[in-house]
A and B are shown apart, each in its own frame.
Chain A
């Protein structure tokens, strides 16, 4: 079974600074997808970024980028120029590539606080 580990229950960063959230996963599959979701106090689950395992290039979405290390099974999220609106729980998630394995397996989350 796949597992996802987020070892930082809480992180804080000064506004406008950069922060990196860690995520590692365990799988025997070669085809899979990785995601970061953000959950602000409104509790809505918002997709931040996604990475296909077959792509070597790290995904980026504006101020958000990932460092995907397939051999190390590591998938960290970097947030540049942190803003107050970035304060939220961040969840790393894994999705297998084969049919019938469409579920997301989530990590336990990292609560990110932005210090003004």
Chain B
């Protein structure tokens, strides 16, 4: 009965590779997000999707491409991985109306290590 899930939880890969992180929420929310947490624990928004439409793109390199096949899923694909991409990536979701609206609920995070 996990609310927001991410796969994989850990990802170790070589520089230059392409990788994807998947996110699914079963809360019925219509907005989903990707955040990056760097080695100093600072959290920053990357993307936001509302009903499969891109709402926020915070000057993220175009090697990062989010894909939302439906309201419940928001995947993150990263091309040509670089050392600086090593971080924890969090998916989150929120309802835009009703109880709990405006509150974001986070997945468990994916720790990405680029060697």
Contact = CB atoms under 8 A, between A and B. Distances in A.
Contact of A43 (B33, B45, B88): B88
Contacts of A42: 108
A109 B39 CA distance: 13
B76 to A, nearest CB: 16
Contacts of A100: 55-56
Interface of B: 31, 33, 35, 40-45, 48, 50, 55-56, 58, 88, 90, 92, 94, 96, 102-106, 108-109, 111
A103 B33 contact: yes
Interface of A: 33, 35, 37, 39, 42-47, 50, 52, 89, 91, 95, 97, 100, 102-106, 108-109
State the majority secondary structure of interface residues on A. strand
**Max count, chain A CB within 10 A of own CB: residue among B35, B90, B102, B108:** B102
Given A89-B41, A108-B42, A102 B48 contact: yes
Contacts, number: 60
Contacts of B105: 47
B41 A108 contact: yes
A66 to B, nearest CB: 15
A50 B55 CA distance: 23
Given A97-B102, A109-B41, 9 more contacts: A43-B88, A44-B109, A45-B90, A102-B48, A102-B50, A102-B102, A103-B33, A104-B43, A106-B42
Nearest to B88: A43
Nearest to A52: B102
A93 to B, nearest CB: 8
Contacts of B106: 37, 44-46
B75 to A, nearest CB: 19
Contacts of B42: 106, 108-109
Contacts of A50: 102-103
Contact of B108 (A44, A102, A108): A44
